[in-house]
Amino acid sequence: MEYVTLNNGVKMPILGYGVYQIPDQAECEQCVLDAISVGYRSIDTAQAYRNEEAVGHAIQKSGVPREELFITTKVWISNAGYEKAKASIDESLRKLQLDYLDLLLIHQPFNDYYGTYRAMEEYYKAGKIKAIGVSNFYPDRYIDLVKFAEVVPAVNQVETHVFNQQVKANEIMKKYNTQIESWGPFAEGKNDLFTNPTLQEIGEQYGKSTAQVALRFLIQQGIVVIPKTVNKERMEQNFNVFDFELSAQDMEKLIALDTEKSSFFSHSDPATVEMLTDYAKKGLE
């Protein structure tokens, strides 16, 4: 496994396992156990995924020492604000059966995320969280938070894949020493990623799949990735991306695939903001 070193010295695996859209508790628990057995040590969940308890059960059953694992969760919009965020962090720790979190992120840049971040800073200083950061923060809101926060975000988890490479955003994050982390490294198959001719052609040269090339492209640029699959064989395939290196020419071909546009939605679009905030106001129960 390769690691990145966050701005506070904490080491984070560059490849992790994400549990987004696995709400079934039994399935999620088994998936995490499978991922850990394959070799994954970084697990990414969130309050909004409604599977923190399943992740916690898997961690306990895995037999892997706590210090070898890197566990991430995220504070949801409905838990924003200083007091509500603190209560939700305690609840996440309880569900995950952990004494501390390796990384805690603000899931979305909506509601009182300034209050949320103050609560996170407090837990960070108390040693209950090893690193804190944000998710889905575009450069404008990211810079605003950085300028007024006591602790610079260690990570910003944003949609990043061959079709939306976040080059400009990453430049700004590097300026302030924040690690970029990719959600959706496969763009959830959109734009026919798994059958893309460029990815296929490059994959054939190395005896690798399009998915492996897509992951390797990001990893080779120092971008943390957390691919999700419920299939153990694909978990193994996604994990097997450290035994080859893309050439400079192949990297250039993949860079040319960048559309600089989201394959999903824009957090700057009023309709998207209304959709997310209306959904969040319903809470997590």
* Position 188, amino acid: E
Helix (H) or strand (E) holding 155: strand 155-159
Does 107 show up as a binding residue in the annotation?
yes
Task: Tell me how long the chain is.
Answer: 285
Output b/e per residue, 33-50; b: 16+ Cβ within 10 A.
Answer: bbbbebebbbbbbbbbbb
The span from the first CA to the last CA of the chain, in angstroms, equals: 37
Of these residues, 49, 113, 123, 142, which one is catalytic? 49
Helix (H) or strand (E) holding 183: strand 179-183
Q: Is 138 a catalytic residue?
A: no
* Position 122, amino acid: E
Long-range contacts of 233-238 (CB under 8 A, 24+ apart): 235/17, 235/34, 235/35, 235/38, 235/40, 236/38, 237/209, 237/211, 237/212, 238/15, 238/211, 238/212
Q: 52: Cβ–Cβ under 8 A, 6 or more apart, which residues?
A: 45, 46, 73, 92, 95, 96
Report the alpha-carbon distance of residue 48 to residue 20 in Å, rounded. Answer: 9
Residue 118, CB-side half-sphere exposure with 13 Å CA sphere: 9
Asked if 44 contacts 169 with a C-beta cutoff of 8 angstroms, the reply is no
Write out the binding residues for substrate: 107
List the catalytic residues.
Answer: 49
